[in-house]
């Protein structure tokens, strides 16, 4: 149930055209996903996703570079203190990509980093045996692509409308 509501919030986030609104919906999704991983006994993943939730909220309100560095340091502390196998490196990589992306001002960069991070989570979720989380991340990846293409088409239409001629 948690993964399903997280899924809905995450999909809705990708359809947003405002960076701050997108990040706030990702915050809701991440809180629910962290709970999901905790229930599965994947505590390292739950820590990373919980940190991600806080990061989304902070980045939505104060997209300053010093916060980005703080969240990157926190993710590094998590991986150094909880590392038990190479599988732990996938959430860490996703967290680093997502952290960098969350603090970018250009929506295209945010989307690219989130797509790369989602790819890491897809591999992780396959390996830990969470088919709902795999489907959710695949849907996030697809929704992100659709949102990106929609934004590009809108920008191209605006540019064409402003051309003299």
pLDDT tens-place string over residues 23-36: 899 899 999 989 98
Is residue 84 within 8 Å of residue 44, measured between CB atoms? yes
Distance of alpha carbon 121 from alpha carbon 48, whole angstroms? 11
Q: Taken in order 132, 138, 141, 145, is the CA torsion positive or negative?
A: negative
Q: Give the SS3 label for residue 85.
A: coil
* pTM listed for this prediction: 0.78
Distance of alpha carbon 92 from alpha carbon 79, whole angstroms? 7
Summarize pLDDT for 39-79 with one digit per residue, the tens: 888 888 888 889 889 998 998 898 889 999 999 999 999 89
């Amino acid at each position: 149930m948690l993964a399903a509501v997280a899924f809905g919030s995450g999909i809705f986030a990708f359809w947003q055209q405002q960076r701050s609104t997108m990040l706030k919906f990702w915050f809701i999704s991440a809180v629910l996903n962290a709970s999901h991983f905790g229930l599965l006994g994947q505590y390292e993943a739950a820590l990373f996703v919980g940190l991600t939730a806080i990061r989304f909220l902070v980045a939505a309100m104060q997209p300053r570079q010093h916060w980005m560095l703080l969240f990157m340091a926190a993710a590094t502390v998590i991986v150094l203190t909880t590392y038990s196998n190479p599988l732990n490196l996938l959430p860490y990589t996703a967290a680093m990509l997502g952290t960098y992306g969350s603090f970018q001002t250009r929506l295209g960069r945010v989307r690219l980093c989130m797509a790369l991070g989602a790819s890491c989570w897809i591999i992780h979720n396959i390996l830990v045996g969470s088919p709902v989380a795999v489907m959710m991340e695949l849907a996030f990846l697809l929704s992100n692509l659709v949102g990106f293409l929609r934004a590009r088409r809108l920008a191209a239409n605006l540019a064409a409308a402003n051309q003299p001629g």
